[in-house]
Amino acid sequence: MAKKSLEVEAEVEVEDEGDAAQFKMPVDSDHKATEFWLFSFAKPHMRAFHLSWFSFFCCFVSSFAAPPLLPVIRDNLSLTTTDIGNAGIASVSGAVFARLAMGTACDLVGPRLASASLILITTPAVYCSSLIDSATGFLLVRFFTGFSLATFVSTQFWMSSMFSPPKVGLANGVAGGWGNMGGGATQLIMPLVYELIKKIGSTNFIAWRIAFFIPGVMQTCSAIAVLMFGQDMPDGNYNKLHKAGEKHKDNFSEVFKHAVTNYRGWILALTYGYCFGVELTIDNIIAQYFYDRFGVNISKAGTIAASFGLANIVSRPGGGLFSDYLSKFFGMRGRLWGLWVVQTLGGIFCVILGKTNSLAGSIVVLLLFSLFCQAACGLTFGVVPFVSRRSLGLISGMGGGGGNVGAVLTQLIFFHNSKYSTEDGIFYMGIMILVCTLPIALIHFPQWGGMLCGPKPGYTPEDYYQSEWSHHEQQKGYHTASLRFAENSVREGGRSARGSGHSKHTVPVETSPTDV
Amino acid sequence: MAGLRLSKTTIALLLLIVCHVGPSMAVLFSQLPKTLIVTATTKSGDVLHAGEDKFTVTWALNTSLPAGADANYKTVKVLLCYAPVSQHDRKWRKSNNDLKKDKTCQFTVVKQDYSATGKHEYTVARDIPTASYFVRAYALDASDTKVAFGQTTDANKTSNIFDIVGITGRTTGIFVSAIVFSAFSGVALAFFYVVENKKKK
């Protein structure tokens, strides 16, 4: 058995040394980039980054295109508060299961095909938004358009496949943040397009319908770009890698088993519901809140609402960066503490927002709330890539799906009917954030520790990631990618782990493991 | 997160903007005298179509009032107002006794200089939504403050309610474009799948 493993290792070694030279960026033994060059389009790493964040951005623009135009749509369709609330819930509930399915699809066919397919399948819902004439129609188009939010999972999966552990938090954070920004940008774009079309000469009830073609076209074009220019992994697309035997085509039931039996995935799913889920809820309710409570017009309400979503340009990446920074000094324990502190602060500002009575005060608190809430999202996905290597897609999907469940729950409990005024709903939602963030303290990695307890002595990252593969599968060498990941994630042990002789960033390409 | 510190001057300026109040006396609807008699050619249950149908609204000062009751009336503003059935479960159309916050009447039929009697023929505008309505006229003084009113319905807003059917907004152009663009997305996906399958072989 040892000889066969050495042979497999040797083949991989020879390939590595030849291929590493073809990448413009410095890479680790997995060919994942060890640096993040934001303004470059270097193939394949940075190109994948720009394709994934932009296509995800377009999905957000479409999914939240309706809220800023609700003052017009609600009159055209004669909607009631209940109708609007139901549609808001529908817009985020489709993605709960779509994100799980997307996670699995990424594990099986790769993020490029999975995301582009989903985006192209949901664009008709965006175009048909211009044709609806009833509350039911409104609910259905928002429901089907919302499925596209599952591209979040493919974004995170793709970044986790392209970027090495020391940079994965940052890459995930920027891609996720710049995509989420679509929820803010749309609150500016849609009113602007609507006003422009009205100026050209349309009536209001026609103008909003025409406006919906903008997000639709953006979405279609971005999906085509992903298909034409994207690549699943640094070494190629899944179908090419499967054919060459370089990538073992995993089976669904094993991937599924290892995801659902990992309790850390479930906890992160819950807590993500109270940063990202809350963000989605705010995207849905905040423009109407400012329009109705403070009497500002559609454009002004849209601008204020936009500031919440646009904060994502720095806040979520900031969260990812902060996670990577904490990991440098404190390893995984730092990442977990950072997540808990930042998300709790987000909850505190949400509570304050519900109690602020002035327009100016509300805007200031909203901005602070957005910074912490979105940074928490970035910090969450600084932890997720380490929960599982084999079932990375499904774990990302669970986390992402949990985010949407949080959005469904908060809208259902606090904003669906006239039981609470919107400001009271915001206040209680803040309290719920504080409570539902506590479970982070329960997450423990035996190789690195958790918030409250240290690591299990003698337990290595190799032990953790190898335990996802059976003895039989290890004999066949299916787990080699997991082992490479384990080596490259040694730094998550914090400063003490680095005393064992590994370099500051990652294992350099030239040295390959001689022991398995 | 660290960089968000507001200076004292900025806070002061913000407070100044927020706290600036105009002519501060709140005008309450319950205190407005009903001195105008307003009638419209619409009857209870009529259905009018936006952009096509017309109706005429007539207003007159109640002749049984003492002379000079309308001394400070400078302008008349006639509005289309939502009936209670169209306000149900719609917070943005809620009636409020404080006229600054009242959202019952959102569409202006006509605004003109005051005269003891007046009449106006109105073609229902294309941006009026589908709902049930009545007509109300306010008399405004020189500072544009409401000082009196009259309406076509009773105090409970149940009589003389008529319906307006708004335009759908769905033009043929939009219909065709939606179908074409949707079909294109489907075709694009199918095309790339065929290409991928060819690559596999």
pLDDT tens for residues A376-398?
A: 998 998 898 889 888 888 888 88
Q: What is the pTM of this model?
A: 0.81
Asked if the Cβ–Cβ distance from B174 to A131 is below 8 Å, we say yes
Question: Is residue A225 within 8 angstroms of chain B, CB to CB?
Answer: no
Q: Which of B17, B46, B93 is closest to A363 using CA atoms?
A: B17
pLDDT digit string (tens) for A478-512?
777 787 778 777 777 777 655 443 333 443 333 33
Identify the closest residue of chain B to A73 by CA–CA distance. Answer: B129
Cα-Cα-Cα-Cα torsion A282, A284, A289, A291, nearest 10 degrees, comes to 130
For residue A490, give the DSSP letter. Answer: G
* pLDDT at residue A132 tops 90: yes
The per-residue b/e assignment along B110-140, b for 16 or more CB within 10 angstroms, e otherwise, is: beeebeeebebebebbbbbbbbbbbbbbbbb
Asked if the Cβ–Cβ distance from A360 to B15 is below 8 Å, we say yes
Residues 179-198 of B with CB under 8 A from A: 181-182, 184-186, 188-189, 192, 196
- For A124, the closest of B86, B185, B196 (CB atoms) is B185
Asked if the Cβ–Cβ distance from A78 to B131 is below 8 Å, we say yes
In DSSP notation, B21-61 reads: -SS-PPPBGGGS-B-EEEEES--TT-EEETTT-EEEEEEEE
Mean pLDDT of A25-49: 86
* pLDDT at residue A63 tops 90: yes
Residues 367-426 of A with CB under 8 A from B: 367-368, 371-372, 375, 418
For residue A155, the number of C-alpha atoms closer than 13 Å in the C-beta half-sphere is: 34
The label of the residue with tokens 């998300």 reads A343
- What is the widest separation between alpha-carbon atoms in chain A? 77
Within A110-167, strands assigned E span none
Give me the percent of chain A exceeding a pLDDT of 70. 89
Whether B170 and B123 have beta carbons less than 8 Å apart is answered as: no
ipTM here: 0.81
pLDDT digit string (tens) for B109-145?
999 998 888 899 999 999 999 999 999 999 998 898 9
Asked if the Cβ–Cβ distance from B129 to A75 is below 8 Å, we say yes
Q: Which of A205, A207, A179 is closest to A193 using CA atoms?
A: A207
Rounded Cα distance, A371 and A388, in Å: 28
* Neighbour tally for B95: CB within 10 Å: 15
- For B174, the closest of A121, A210, A292 (CB atoms) is A210
Residues 106-125 of B with CB under 8 A from A: none
Q: Which residues of B touch A123 (CB under 8 A)?
A: 181-182, 185
Phi/psi of residue B37, each to 5°?
-105, 120
Q: Chain centroid to CA A442: how far?
A: 22
Q: How many residues does chain B have?
A: 201
Mean pLDDT of A151-172: 86
Asked if the Cβ–Cβ distance from A203 to B126 is below 8 Å, we say yes
Mean pLDDT of A456-463: 85
* pLDDT at residue B81 tops 80: yes
Q: Which residues of B touch A372 (CB under 8 A)?
A: 1
Q: What pLDDT score does A515 carry?
A: 33
* pLDDT at residue A225 tops 60: yes
Rounded Cα distance, B2 and A513, in Å: 43
Rounded Cα distance, B155 and B152, in Å: 10
Rounded Cα distance, A52 and A38, in Å: 13
* pLDDT at residue A152 tops 80: yes
Q: Which of A310, A126, A122, A125 is closest to A214 using CA atoms?
A: A126
Q: How many residues does chain A have?
A: 516
Q: How many CB pairs below 8 Å do chains A and B form together?
A: 116
Identify the closest residue of chain B to A217 by CA–CA distance. Answer: B181
pLDDT digit string (tens) for B4-41?
455 666 666 655 555 544 445 778 988 888 989 899 99
Cα-Cα-Cα-Cα torsion A73, A76, A81, A85, nearest 10 degrees, comes to -40
Which of A58, A69, A115, A123 is the mutation pick for testing B, counting most B CBs within 10 A?
A123
Question: Is residue A241 within 8 angstroms of chain B, CB to CB?
Answer: no
For residue A455, the number of C-alpha atoms closer than 13 Å in the C-beta half-sphere is: 21
pLDDT digit string (tens) for A245-299?
656 667 788 888 888 999 999 999 999 999 999 998 998 888 888 888 888 888 8
Q: Which of A336, A346, A337 is closest to A315 using CA atoms?
A: A346
Residue with the bigger pLDDT between A245 and A71: it is: A71
Calculate the alpha carbon distances from A8 to A221, A515, B149 in Å: 41, 12, 90
Question: Is residue B22 within 8 angstroms of chain A, CB to CB?
Answer: no
Label the pairing between strands B47-49 and B54-61.
Answer: unpaired
Identify the closest residue of chain B to A318 by CA–CA distance. Answer: B1
Label the pairing between strands B36-40 and B105-113.
Answer: unpaired
**Residues ≥6 apart with Cβ < 8 Å to A112:** A158, A226, A227, A230, A231, A232, A237, A238
